[in-house]
Amino acid sequence: MPDRADRHVQRWLPVLPDLDPDVEAVVTRVSLLTRHLRAVKERALADVDLPAHEYDTLHALAGRRGRAAPSELAEDLGVAPASITARVDSLVRRGLVERIPSSTDRRRVDVALTDAGRAAWRGALDARGAEEHRLLDVLDPDERRVLSDLLRRVLLVAEQPGS
């Protein structure tokens, strides 16, 4: 059954006769899936009343077992350390994180997920995960593995310096 990418390729082939239909179809499908998953993420975040930057901060904290130094969060998120302070302040006011003394350095304060913060993060994560599984459940486990391996090969080229 033709999809939007097939229709896109058919529309452009007469205009661009040297267009590689397979390359164009793959790129179009990746773009459409990315757009779809971004919209799913936005809806999931709206459902738990989380701006994307706050979700990303909770996600980074969860990935560090629920506790991290602000400098670690800044590094994980690729942002300036000064911007973490404002994010954490907002999350503290909402009761989603708390500042606690560091267990390794008395001069330092760590940021920790609260139960409410973990619940908000999980709510958004579970909604996104349900849609990801819905999409990929059309493939059997071997097909998913092959798709993942093929996408890895393409991504490794994109991640090379100078790309």
pLDDT digits 0-9 by tens, 18-75: 999 999 999 999 999 999 999 999 999 998 899 999 999 999 999 999 999 999 999 9
The pLDDT of residue 162 is 83
Closest CA to 55 of 126, 139, 133: 126
Computed on alpha carbons and rounded to an integer, the radius of gyration of the chain in Å comes to: 21
In the chain, where the domains are located: 1-47, 51-136
- Dump pLDDT digits (tens) for 133-154: 999 999 999 999 999 999 999 9
Name the percent of the chain in helix, strand, coil, to the closest 5.
Answer: 65, 5, 25
Return the CATH number of the domain spanning residue range 51-136. 1.10.10.10
Closest CA to 73 of 125, 129, 34, 117: 117
